[in-house]
Structures are given as C-alpha cells and as structure tokens.
C-alpha cells in the first residue's frame, strides 16, 4: 500500500475541516458561504484521496455519511438511560394542575421554578452517542428501554454532526432530539410514492419513522431528514446522568455550541401565564413553520429541580406536552364519488359541505377503501368528523351515528368500474378494490399523464384535458400510440391550432432522446419511482437484460427490496407489456444505456442511414443536442461544418455563415418541422 506523506495527511484534514464547516453553515445555520459546485469539488478531492489511502478514512469523515452496503437487519440496543415519553395536557387547566403539583413537590427547594418552552416537533426521537467527540451510535427510541441501532442512517442526516465542535470532548456524550421531515420534503416523498403506485405516508411523523427504518442508507440520504436536538447528558463514571450545566436552557445553548441544530423558537418563561402566552402564540403561528408541530413541551428549567421531581412509571414529572387540539370538524357527507387511479385502484371520496380546517377550505376527504368504509359504517347524509393535520389529504375519522338522518343510505363500493363499466376485483388479502380492464380509459389516461410527466419522459403540453380527448376519441390507446400521432390528428381536437399541434408532435419526438432510466420510470410499474428506476437501470443496462433477469437477480440491485423486485419481474413477464416495449423500441425510445447512441442504431429505424447533417441557428422547439440525438438514432451523422459531403442543413433562427455556405453549395435546407417528418 502507498504511504501517504505528511502533506497528503494535512490536505485530507484540511478538506474535512472545510467540508464540515460548509455542511454546518448550510444545514444547521441555514447560511451557506460556499457554492454547491465548490463543495462538490472539495468533496471529490477528499473522496479521491481516501480512495488512494483507505487507511486514512475515519468514521467522522464527511464521505462516510452514506453506507456502502444496505443493512440486512437492525440490531437492538439497550439504552443506557431510558427514553421516557411525556404526559399530555389538552387544555390550560390540565397544564395548571401539572404546574401546581410540581410546585408542591419541589416546595423545599430554594430554586425558583422557571420553565423552558420548546416546540413539540412531530417526528421520531433519536438517541445519539458520541465517544471522544465522534458519533459512534444512533438509535431509535423503541419501547424506551430497547431501541434499534440505526447509526448508518443517522449519519445521513446532515444537521447531525459526525464530530462534536469541542476542543476537549468528554469521553461520552449522549444527545437526544427529534428527527423530522420538512413539510416540503414530506410532500415530495408522497408525490413520488403516488407516481410509483405506493401507499402514501399518512403524515410527516410516519414518513420520518419509516425512513429511519429503511435498510438502505442511500434511500435515507435522499429523503433529507433533519434533526433538532433537545436533551444533553454527559455521564461521569460514577453518575450516568451527570449534567454539564445547571439548567435545561443552558443545555440547549451547549448543544448549539457543540454543532447541533436547536430549535430557535424556544422561550424561557418565569411563570405559567408566560407559558400559556407562548402556547397561544404558537397555536396560530405554527402553521407558518416549514415543519409539523403538534404542541409545546414545557420543561422545568433548573436541573436540580428536575432531579428532585423525578419520574412516574412512564413520564418525567418535570415536563409535560401541551397538545394542540387536532384540526377536526364535523360536516355533512353530500355524496361519495369513486376515483380510478393509474393502477386501477378505486378510491372512495366523500364530497362534503365545505368547512375550514387548518387554514384551508376542505370539501373532499378520502375514505381510503372498502374496509375503511365498513369500519366507519358510512351512510350518505351522515354527519362525520373530518381531520386535517399536517397530512395533505383530509380524512373522515368518525361518523356521528346519533345525527344520522332517517333516509340516510349506506354507501357500497360499486361492483363495476365507474369509468369503464367492467366488473372490479377485490384481490385476496388486500383492502383495495381494483379495475383490471387493460383498456379502462381512467387507467389509460393515468398512464399517459405519468408517461409525459416531468420526471418521466418530460413531454410538455400534454395535460389532463388533452389526454382525455386523445383517449375518448381513441386516437391513443397506449403510450406507444403517442409516437404515431400526426399534426393533422391533433388539429382535429378542440381548440388546437397548427402551431400548438406541431409543438406537441415535436415534444413527443424529442422524448425519444430520454434515457432508459426515465423510460423505465415512465412505464409506471408499481413501486418503481424515479429513484428505483435509476437504481435498476444502473445494474440492468438494457431492457433485454432486465427481461431475462429473475426476481432474485432484480432484488440483488442495491436498494431494491423483494416486493419491488417481484413487481418488476411480474410486469416484464406479461406478454402485453413485452408487446408494448417492442412498439416503443420501434418508435425509437431508449431501452439501453450500455452503448453510445451511435452504436445503438442497429435496433432502431435507419431511415437516415448514410446521411450527413449540419444544424445551424436556434430551432423552435428542439435543443441542439436533442435534434442531434434524433438524427443519430435514425442512423444519420451530424457534423459541425458544411461541405460538399453534407446532405442536409437544418436551419433555425439566426443562422449565420453555415446557412450561406449551404446555399452557395446548393445543399438541401430543412426546417425543424421538415426534419421531423424525415423520421
């Protein structure tokens, strides 16, 4: 092995310091000082050096945030100090009772009980252990005494320091806090899951907890968890819970000094009135925060008083959670409609008398599925309780049976698909009711929208209305038919002029240059979101390889579990799907990333074989690269300069000397539109 000289060791240290500082400024202070590009450059330099000198890799190196291999399972860990949960107060009276009781118990103390108010972040509690300043263990709360060791996942959370910012760190430091997802990230995750046909997370808390228990830390890293620290222990040999300061307030400040993100919206209160004011203020204001809070945690500030008060069986006596009432409201169910999704799943939706909830007007709420309706015993005309928390979708949580009108009619899931009229099925062991008609217009329309969406084939200009027309006029019966559409056909649709029609045809043609990973995602296979599609196509470089793979081989892809693997395997085994792939291949879509497109020509139409093109000026819809790829896909060659050997010059706006030369040489000129007709 090559020995690293001192200079290299020094550089590695320097790079780590710079990256650590940049991460801290970006993720904890929210005040970046260097650009992403510079960060990436420094990161790559460090990565290269560590690859050359692997013995110099340390667990706190910024390169160690994502693990190499996914875990097969998590180990249980005993918490040295149990993680208690909190007693709740649901109104200010209950808060007062708690405060009076704690004051009575602490009556002999000379300390004046001040209170720290912290926002109660709706996430998942984590216990972090640092030895000699280095993060060595991260664990979930579990049942409070035993949790799961998820160190590799915890390391992906960029606001958690891998190394404490202390000159002389104590031998052991235990930090606790809440891992959470911002509302934005939560919505993005759910959007991706929806597109992949996966069940949505009900709220950011479930999404955070689910993410922390992912076996593949690469997926965890993509989910962008965040963390607020709120508890600090610095155990001494003779006292596990020895405390580094006198108060909780000072502990929060100390945590901040150590490099943690501590919620800035905390307040030190000297009496219950101030505590109540804080709770009232945040009841409204919390809706403006980028993350979910469901209450306020009130902690007695002096640690000596905390010690004196101690714990009940379940809770500390020195802290309580004031819970905001859930945003629920009664309203009447006017009717129930049934939506059919891209996967054929039927979702019943309650149409409501509009109500105001969590700051927005709600007129529809999901009833999830047939089992849920049965459980609720829902009748049309019922008065129900609708809840909207941080959830994006409001839901019906309860029926008020005593208010049921006499003529209320029980709602039954339809036996036939509301979109195509075919008999629906209730798969064994599943709560979902499904339409399995291959040509159901709702399924077709959903698949077309998905195919054209931004993360898939990114075809601009094809929205809900157009898709509906294309499907009902039977111009398109599958995504492959999009590639046969002509300007004339499109012009036969409502409010479609020649210009828009041409634009759409061009946008469809341009999508043929999209890579194999996007094509796979666009196919809309269950559980295959854009991330999974990327992972799968990294291993299976062509569709042939994927079709030949067994479910076990697909499961061998880093980050792909058995359920996903099975879904992909089943999909490619259906003759109808293989037929679709064949048609898309013939249309010129990319099903191979192993070779350069130039080498790929054999399996694609070769209408431009032997022809040489030059492109000049700005084309109306295609980017230069897209046009180039299209020509190459059809067997043509694209060169930079015009000569006698040039067959065609494609001319866009503001074409310059190349146009002139072409005219001089008498070479055929093409507009973008004319070029596209050649394919």
Active site residues: 120
Residue 628 to residues 125, 510, 603, 632, 650: CA-CA distances in angstroms?
Answer: 53, 10, 18, 6, 10
Residue from 49, 106, 297, 487 in contact with ligand IVH (CB under 6 A): 297
| Residue 408 backbone phi and psi in degrees, to 5 | -65, 140
Distance CA 373, CA 657 (A): 70
Q: DSSP string of 187-238?
A: HHHHHHHHHTTPPPPSSHHHHHHHHHT-S-HHHHHHH--EEEEEEEE--BTT
Binding mask 225-244 for ligand IVH (x = CB under 6 A): -----x--------------
| Among 104-112, 117-125, 542-550, 635-643, the segment contacting ligand IVH (CB under 6 A) | 117-125
Q: Which helix (H) or strand (E) holds 18?
A: helix 6-23
| Residue 572 binding ligand IVH, by CB under 6 A | no
Smaller CB separation from ligand IVH, 268 or 638: 268
| Residue 121 binding ligand IVH, by CB under 6 A | yes
CB of residue 537 vs ligand IVH: minimum separation in angstroms?
38
CB of residue 258 vs ligand IVH: minimum separation in angstroms?
17
| Residue 125 binding ligand IVH, by CB under 6 A | yes
| Residue 587 binding ligand IVH, by CB under 6 A | no
Smaller CB separation from ligand IVH, 86 or 543: 86
**What contacts 662, CB < 8 A, 6 or more positions away?**
614, 616, 642, 646, 649, 651, 669
| Residue 142 binding ligand IVH, by CB under 6 A | no
Residue from 42, 61, 102, 118 in contact with ligand IVH (CB under 6 A): 118
Q: Closest-CB residue for ligand IVH?
A: 125
SS3 sequence, 372-386?
HHHHHCCEECCEEEE
Residue 450 to residues 237, 295, 467, 473, 516: CA-CA distances in angstroms?
Answer: 59, 38, 11, 19, 16
Smaller CB separation from ligand IVH, 211 or 511: 211
CB of residue 85 vs ligand IVH: minimum separation in angstroms?
4
185: left (phi over 0), alpha (psi -120 to 50) or beta: alpha
Whether 278 and 269 have beta carbons less than 8 Å apart is answered as: yes
| Residue 198 binding ligand IVH, by CB under 6 A | no
CB of residue 264 vs ligand IVH: minimum separation in angstroms?
12
Smaller CB separation from ligand IVH, 53 or 84: 84
Whether 251 and 232 have beta carbons less than 8 Å apart is answered as: yes
CB of residue 118 vs ligand IVH: minimum separation in angstroms?
4
Binding mask 169-188 for ligand IVH (x = CB under 6 A): ---------x----------
CB of residue 191 vs ligand IVH: minimum separation in angstroms?
26
Smaller CB separation from ligand IVH, 318 or 613: 318
Which two structure tokens, joined as six digits, stand for 201? Answer: 């997370």
Whether 230 and 176 have beta carbons less than 8 Å apart is answered as: yes
| Residue 49 binding ligand IVH, by CB under 6 A | no
Number of residues that bind ligand IVH (CB under 6 A): 14
Which two structure tokens, joined as six digits, stand for 451? Answer: 């195919």
| Residue 395 binding ligand IVH, by CB under 6 A | no
CB of residue 182 vs ligand IVH: minimum separation in angstroms?
15
Smaller CB separation from ligand IVH, 118 or 192: 118
Distance CA 197, CA 365 (A): 19
Whether 437 and 369 have beta carbons less than 8 Å apart is answered as: no
CB of residue 332 vs ligand IVH: minimum separation in angstroms?
34
Which two structure tokens, joined as six digits, stand for 41? Answer: 């450059």
Residue from 70, 169, 210, 316 in contact with ligand IVH (CB under 6 A): 316
Residue keyed to tokens 């004339």? 488
**What contacts 186, CB < 8 A, 6 or more positions away?**
201, 203, 204, 207, 390
Residue keyed to tokens 């200079």? 7
Whether 450 and 195 have beta carbons less than 8 Å apart is answered as: yes
CB of residue 251 vs ligand IVH: minimum separation in angstroms?
11
Distance CA 398, CA 415 (A): 25
CB of residue 309 vs ligand IVH: minimum separation in angstroms?
11
Q: How far apart are the first and last CA of the chain?
A: 56
Whether 180 and 227 have beta carbons less than 8 Å apart is answered as: yes
| Residue 322 binding ligand IVH, by CB under 6 A | no
CB of residue 229 vs ligand IVH: minimum separation in angstroms?
9
Q: What is the dihedral of CA 569, 575, 580, 584, to 10 degrees?
A: 80
| Residue 321 binding ligand IVH, by CB under 6 A | yes
**What contacts 459, CB < 8 A, 6 or more positions away?**
451, 452, 482, 507, 508, 510, 511
Distance CA 669, CA 619 (A): 13
Q: Which of residues 267-286 bind ligand IVH (CB under 6 A)?
A: none
Pairing of strands 383-387, 328-340: antiparallel
| Residue 556 backbone phi and psi in degrees, to 5 | -70, -10
| Among 313-321, 401-409, 434-442, 594-602, the segment contacting ligand IVH (CB under 6 A) | 313-321
CA nearest 587: which of 460, 444, 481? 481
CB of residue 296 vs ligand IVH: minimum separation in angstroms?
9
Q: Which helix (H) or strand (E) holds 633?
A: helix 624-633
Residue from 26, 84, 92, 679 in contact with ligand IVH (CB under 6 A): 84
Smaller CB separation from ligand IVH, 147 or 588: 147
Residue keyed to tokens 């973008």? 672
CB of residue 125 vs ligand IVH: minimum separation in angstroms?
3
Residue from 19, 319, 417, 505 in contact with ligand IVH (CB under 6 A): 319
2: left (phi over 0), alpha (psi -120 to 50) or beta: beta
Smaller CB separation from ligand IVH, 122 or 391: 122
Beta bridge partners of 360: 357
Smaller CB separation from ligand IVH, 117 or 501: 117
Smaller CB separation from ligand IVH, 50 or 178: 178
| Among 78-86, 427-435, 539-547, 558-566, the segment contacting ligand IVH (CB under 6 A) | 78-86
| Among 241-249, 316-324, 644-652, 669-677, the segment contacting ligand IVH (CB under 6 A) | 316-324
Distance CA 17, CA 2 (A): 24
| Residue 324 binding ligand IVH, by CB under 6 A | no
Q: Contact residues for ligand IVH (CB under 6 A)?
A: 84-86, 118, 120-121, 125, 141, 178, 230, 297, 316, 319, 321
């Amino acid at each position: 092995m090559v020995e690293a000289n001192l200079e290299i060791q020094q550089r590695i240290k320097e790079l780590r310091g710079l990256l650590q500082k940049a991460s801290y400024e970006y993720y904890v202070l929210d005040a970046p000082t260097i650009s992403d590009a510079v960060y990436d450059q420094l990161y790559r330099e460090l990565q290269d050096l560590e690859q050359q000198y692997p013995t110099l890799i340390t667990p706190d190196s910024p390169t160690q945030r994502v693990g190499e291999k996914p875990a097969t399972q998590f180990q249980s860990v005993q918490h040295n100090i149990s993680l208690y949960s909190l007693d709740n107060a649901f109104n200010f009276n209950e808060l007062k009772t708690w405060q009076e009781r704690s004051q009575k118990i602490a009556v002999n103390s000379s300390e004046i009980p001040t209170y720290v108010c912290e926002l109660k972040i709706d996430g998942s509690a984590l216990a972090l252990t640092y030895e000699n300043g280095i993060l060595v263990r991260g664990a979930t709360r579990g049942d409070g005494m035993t949790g799961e060791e998820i160190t590799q996942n915890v390391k992906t959370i960029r606001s958690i320091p891998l190394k404490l910012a202390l000159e002389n760190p104590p031998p052991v430091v235990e930090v606790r806090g809440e891992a959470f997802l911002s509302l934005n990230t939560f919505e993005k995750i759910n959007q991706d899951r929806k597109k992949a046909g996966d069940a949505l997370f009900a709220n950011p808390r479930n999404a955070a907890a689910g993410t922390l228990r992912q076996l593949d830390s690469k997926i965890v890293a993509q989910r962008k968890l965040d963390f607020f620290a709120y508890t600090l222990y610095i155990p001494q040999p003779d006292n596990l819970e020895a405390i580094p300061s006198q108060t909780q307030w000072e502990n929060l400040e100390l945590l901040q000094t150590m490099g943690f993100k501590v919620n800035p919206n905390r307040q030190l209160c000297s009496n219950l009135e101030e505590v109540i004011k804080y709770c009232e203020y945040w009841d409204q204001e919390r809706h403006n925060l980028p993350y979910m809070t469901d209450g306020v945690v009130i902690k007695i500030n002096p640690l000596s008083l905390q010690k004196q008060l101690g714990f009940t069986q379940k809770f500390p006596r020195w802290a309580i959670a004031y819970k905001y009432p859930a945003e629920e409201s009664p309203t009447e169910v006017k009717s129930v409609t049934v939506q059919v999704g891209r996967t054929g799943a039927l979702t019943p939706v309650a149409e409501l008398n509009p109500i105001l909830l969590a700051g927005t007007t709600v007129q529809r709420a999901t009833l999830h599925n047939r089992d849920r309706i049965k459980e609720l015993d829902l009748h049309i005309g019922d008065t129900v309780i609708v809840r909207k928390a941080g959830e994006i979708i409001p839901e019906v949580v309860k029926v008020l049976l005593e208010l049921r009108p006499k003529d209320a009619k029980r709602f039954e899931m339809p036996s036939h698909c509301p979109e195509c009229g075919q008999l629906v099925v209730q798969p064994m062991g599943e709560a979902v009711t499904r339409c399995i008609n291959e040509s159901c217009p709702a399924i077709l329309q959903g698949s077309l929208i998905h195919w054209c969406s931004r993360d898939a084939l990114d075809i601009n200009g094809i929205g809900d209305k157009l898709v509906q027309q294309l499907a009902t006029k039977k111009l398109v019966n599958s995504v492959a038919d999009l590639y046969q559409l002509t300007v004339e056909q499109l012009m036969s649709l409502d409010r479609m002029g020649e210009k828009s029609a041409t634009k759409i045809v061009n946008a469809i043609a341009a999508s043929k240059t999209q890579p194999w990973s996007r094509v796979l995602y666009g196919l809309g296979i269950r559980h295959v979101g854009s991330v999974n599609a990327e992972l799968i196509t990294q291993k299976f470089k062509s569709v042939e390889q994927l079709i030949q793979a067994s479910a076990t081989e697909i499961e061998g892809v880093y980050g792909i579990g058995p359920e996903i693997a099975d879904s992909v395997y089943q999909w490619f085994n259906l003759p109808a799907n293989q037929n679709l792939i064949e048609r898309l291949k013939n249309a010129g879509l990319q099903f191979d990333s192993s070779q350069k497109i130039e080498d790929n020509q054999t399996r694609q139409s070769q209408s431009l074989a032997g022809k040489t093109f030059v492109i000049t000026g700005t084309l109306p819809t295609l980017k230069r690269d897209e046009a180039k790829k299209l020509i190459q896909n059809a067997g043509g060659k694209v060169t930079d300069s015009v000569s006698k050997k040039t067959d065609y010059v494609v001319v866009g706006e503001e074409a310059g000397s190349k146009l002139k030369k072409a005219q001089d040489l008498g070479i055929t000129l093409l507009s973008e539109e004319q070029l596209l007709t050649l394919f």
